[in-house]
Structure 1
């Protein structure tokens, strides 16, 4: 059963005439008759009865007509939706973002995208583990993800959009509060507040401390960045955090080690770039985030 045959069938049913239907479809009548016969062979039943100058639907034809009209309507709606997506008047983009990034980097990007393409829906998924974001992008659960680089999965495109310093967040009365900078090796005796093992921010902090020659002693571990901030304010310990993760929190000290940086990037599947909304989002992300 071919789509054009359904279109021809509906035209004959509506016109009740092969002659008028052929004229409406810009076909010769013999060609139209051939296509209807092929359709009848396909469904295994006669679809029309000829009564003088007119044709009428058989019981089988009447049963098919409702579904044929519905199928053609769905195809037309599908064409319309495709036109919306390719013309950036519709569609959607699913974006994964780390919580430490989402509150500070993403709002300006989404606002600029929505202003340019108000008909496209942006779906934001927050998650704390960069590796899982990569897997979600690779599997198609997400179109793009804003995450820590470098990527570890093959078949993904990536690009650095932010390179930010790691800073030390210290309690209000801590002696380091008055310092203009600190070396990581000098923090070996400090009590730390941090995310639980497995979180991206924790992995980053642990790696930096390991490179400096020590393993940080954690007084408290949590799954919430806001709790890290609150516990540092309460004097529970210090925290190594990227600048975006600090937000507007007071009491940061620069870390002097050259390696104390976090590279944030966008990760995507190459096939996702075939979607105009995804390509447009990436273009606006590059312009907005890198300003």
Structure 2
């Protein structure tokens, strides 16, 4: 069954005449008649009763007309939806974000994007495990993700957004409070408040301490960044966090070790850029980060597949 046959059938039913329907469709009448006969063969019943100067629907034709009109109407609505998506009047973008990114980096991006494209829905998925995001993007479950760099999976586009310093959160009255900087090795005897094992921020803490020659003595593990802040504020221990994740903390001391940095970037499937909403979101994300001096990395990472 061909789509044009449905259109021809509906036109004949509305006009009540093969001649009038052929004229409205800009077809020769014999061509229209052949297509109607093919459709009747396909559905297995006569759809029209041919009278002297007009045609009328048979019982089968009346039953079929409702479904043919509905199918054509759904097709037209589908075309309108596509036009809305292409024109960015509708659409959806699924974005993976680390919790600290969702709280401190994305609000400005989302506000500007929503102002530009109010009909496009942005669905945020929070996760603290960067490698999961790469797999979800590659599998098509996410369109883009803002995550730790570098990217490890092949075939993904990637661009660095932020290279941010690591800072130490210390309790009020701590000997390091107010210092201009601290070396990681000075924290070797401290008790640490950390995210649980498996979280990206915990992986980062363990890595930094290992590079400084010690294993952190973890006194509290949690799955909530806000709890890390609260425990440090209450004097339970110290914490190592990237600058974005440390926002709002009272006593923050920059870490002086040159390797103490976190690099954040955006990753995407190249095919996802064929979606206008996804391409527009990527453009807004990059433009906002490029325009924010406090987020601008020292050396911009190159776009492209890793």
> Same fold by TM (over 0.5)?
yes
Q: Within 5 Å, which residues of 2 pair with 1:257-276? A: 257-276=257-276
Shift of the alpha carbon at 1:155?
A: 2.0
Contact 2:144 2:266 in 1 (8 A): yes
1:75 equivalent in alignment to 2:75: yes
Shift of the alpha carbon at 1:119?
A: 1.5
- Number of the residue aligned with 1:149: 149
Contact 1:232 1:239 in 2 (8 A): yes
In structure 2, C-alpha distance between the alignment counterparts of 1:264 and 1:36, rounded to whole Å: 61
TM-score, normalising length from structure 2?
0.93
Shift of the alpha carbon at 1:235?
A: 0.7
- Number of the residue aligned with 1:227: 227
Shift of the alpha carbon at 1:186?
A: 2.0
- Number of the residue aligned with 1:215: 215
Contact 1:158 1:267 in 2 (8 A): yes
- Number of the residue aligned with 1:102: 102
1:53 equivalent in alignment to 2:61: no
Q: Within 5 Å, which residues of 2 pair with 1:73-152? A: 73-152=73-152
Shift of the alpha carbon at 1:147?
A: 0.9
- Number of the residue aligned with 1:31: 31
Contact 1:162 1:290 in 2 (8 A): no
In structure 2, C-alpha distance between the alignment counterparts of 1:266 and 1:145, rounded to whole Å: 6
In structure 2, C-alpha distance between the alignment counterparts of 1:43 and 1:55, rounded to whole Å: 18
Q: Within 5 Å, which residues of 2 pair with 1:198-213? A: 198-213=198-213
TM-score, normalising length from structure 1?
0.98
Which segment drifts farther, 162-171 or 181-190?
Answer: 181-190
Helix, strand or coil for the counterpart of 2:38? helix
Shift of the alpha carbon at 1:142?
A: 1.3
Contact 1:48 1:55 in 2 (8 A): yes
- Number of the residue aligned with 2:161: 161
- Structure 1: stretches of 5+ with no match in the other structure: none
Aligned residue pairs: how many? 291
- Number of the residue aligned with 1:286: 286
1:244 equivalent in alignment to 2:244: yes
Contact 2:178 2:251 in 1 (8 A): no
Which segment drifts farther, 207-216 or 221-230?
Answer: 207-216
In structure 2, C-alpha distance between the alignment counterparts of 1:290 and 1:208, rounded to whole Å: 28
Contact 2:185 2:214 in 1 (8 A): yes
In structure 1, C-alpha distance between the alignment counterparts of 2:56 and 2:155, rounded to whole Å: 57
For residues 129-168 of structure 1, what are the alpha-carbon distances to aligned partners after superposition, in whole Å with 9 as ceiling and x for unaligned?
Answer: 1111122212222111111111222221111111110100
Shift of the alpha carbon at 1:30?
A: 1.0
Shift of the alpha carbon at 1:117?
A: 1.1
In structure 2, C-alpha distance between the alignment counterparts of 1:61 and 1:153, rounded to whole Å: 56
Shift of the alpha carbon at 1:8?
A: 0.5
- Number of the residue aligned with 1:13: 13
Helix, strand or coil for the counterpart of 1:176? coil
In structure 1, C-alpha distance between the alignment counterparts of 2:34 and 2:207, rounded to whole Å: 73
Helix, strand or coil for the counterpart of 1:192? strand
- Number of the residue aligned with 1:2: 2
